[in-house]
Structure 1
């Protein structure tokens, strides 16, 4: 009986949410180029990655959604053969997108899974290690929809252990309307 009540409640909630949905439902997949800023930029070079967004219309102008992706930053300096340092960011951010015609603004907040990796190699020894952490992730962006092409820029911050670092990114994506 409890399972039947739960299924009925879920179906009712889904029906109400579908009926209340007023804007578009989209899936948006794109590539990112990121420039690290501040202390983060002193050790790491340009980052490259991919992100995907699921967007659910709550009004004709507004959408809520989720951003998932991966952005990889390599060392800024050449560390020699066999040596490397890298930093990866996996954003898991909730967002609100508000459209002003083709232009939109998009604040985001959530979690950022961060992974550092180092490899040191010489003729005498090989050493490697990695570390992972999760931090508060946030972003503020602005974009422009050119048909199904989404062009945007954002600042994405990472709060880690009392310090903040971040990067500026440009993203080009394709929007799939459902």
Structure 2
């Protein structure tokens, strides 16, 4: 993550923390826990299968229609078998994103920005030598843009999430079903 991205993330998190302390009483305070199914796009989709995971959001009301908060989670993508028959592996993504959610009745839009901790694990089978493996981790800039619908305490949403991994960008489309706990 570059210095410029770190400064932007820090400014977003400070704004979120400052706003929460002043305006939390204006709206709801929620914990939102859900499961995610993710479909990799572009070159990322040529290497990895569909991903599965879970995310938790803390949302703090700043107005009747707006909430800010933090998203934490884990999504795992398995390496496609047809990518290399002697290679198996996975990519695990842990997003930590600042969130703004704006409600239009039951419908909402939700931009997110932050960073992702990404861990690649690979193992290769070599004839006569057994298997060899390794892993590598990287922290990268991440973002997401989503839309959702609240059915009482049930939260259904879809988003595009992007991140930079190894100097190149990659992304996925995800759907999420969650339960909203009011505090």
Q: Which has the larger radius of gyration?
A: 1
Q: How does 1:40-51 map to 2 (within 5 A)?
A: 40-51=44-55
In 1, Cα distance between equivalents of 2:57 and 2:101: 11
Instruction: Give 1:59 shift.
Output: 0.4
Q: Which residue of 1 aligns with 2:168?
A: 163
Residue 66 of structure 2 corresponds to 62
User: Does the CA-based 8 Å contact 2:23-2:62 persist in structure 1?
Assistant: no
Residues 4-58 of structure 1, C-alpha deviation per residue, up to 9 Å, x if partnerless? Answer: xxxxxxxxx99x9367520000000000000000110000010000000000000
* Among 109, 113, 126, the residue aligned to 1:109: 113
**Off by >3 Å, runs of 4+ in structure 1:** 78-81
Question: Could you give the per-residue CA deviations for residues 117-139 of structure 1, whole angstroms, max 9, x where no partner exists?
Answer: 00123442221100000100000
* TM-score, structure 2 normalization: 0.83
TM-score (norm 1): 0.86
CA distance in 2, matches of 1:162, 1:120: 24
Pick aligned residue for 2:103 from 89, 92, 99:
99
Structure 1's unaligned 5+ residue stretches are 1-12
Q: Superposition RMSD on alpha carbons, in Å?
A: 2.1
How many residue pairs match? The answer is: 164
Is 2:150 the counterpart of 1:145? Answer: yes
